[in-house]
A and B are shown apart, each in its own frame.
Chain A
């Protein structure tokens, strides 16, 4: 008996409706494009101590030097001078570099075990632009090796002196 081939009712080719999917995809694309913010990455300077807070009690036998960094400015916030202790370093980029050298000298003198206990106090005028203070914090914290791009940190504790009153 000859078998009769049955005609299939199914269409030979499926056409999946792509239009809704493309619509949604374009909407997603628009959403992500609109929400994209080109921004630089951010990083923190951690402060271990409350600003202007009490000093921690250390072993009586160990007398750590106080590193006091002063930032003096005029009424408009322009930097007049950077001081470390009683030494005036100036107010330009070289002064900040010298500040870094001075701090490193003190830290080297103390040696490794005490290094982490050394504290830098930053005493800035009320008007001093915040960028100068942050630069000073950065210079006291460590330095970047230009070849390896690695950060060598030598100070972990930074604190602010109690705030000054604004200049009249």
Chain B
């Protein structure tokens, strides 16, 4: 019984620990991006915004919990599956994966400075230097 309630508590806590993810672009970027479009960018099927401008996407290392959460919630895949997918694209010359940022601050800075950039951070970190296009 104790064990079970402990398990439940842990489950609830870990759910609570899931950050809300904000997908961010440069404030001047008026692109409308839905989950499907974002999925295509982060799985190498699209490399441009709807208006045709090239995308510079940012991601985190595969060991980063936010990355794993993003892969599951937004891309509906496990991080390993995304890794395998990019392995195929990279080694066949069919795609270039998103740039890996060291931390959310780097993504905020890069997106605030580049009209072509797209990235995601914990929603609580967002300020006026970037624009939120979607939350997950």
A, B from the same assembly: no
Q: Which residues of A contact B (CB under 8 A)?
A: none
Which B residues form the contact surface with A (CB < 8 A)? none
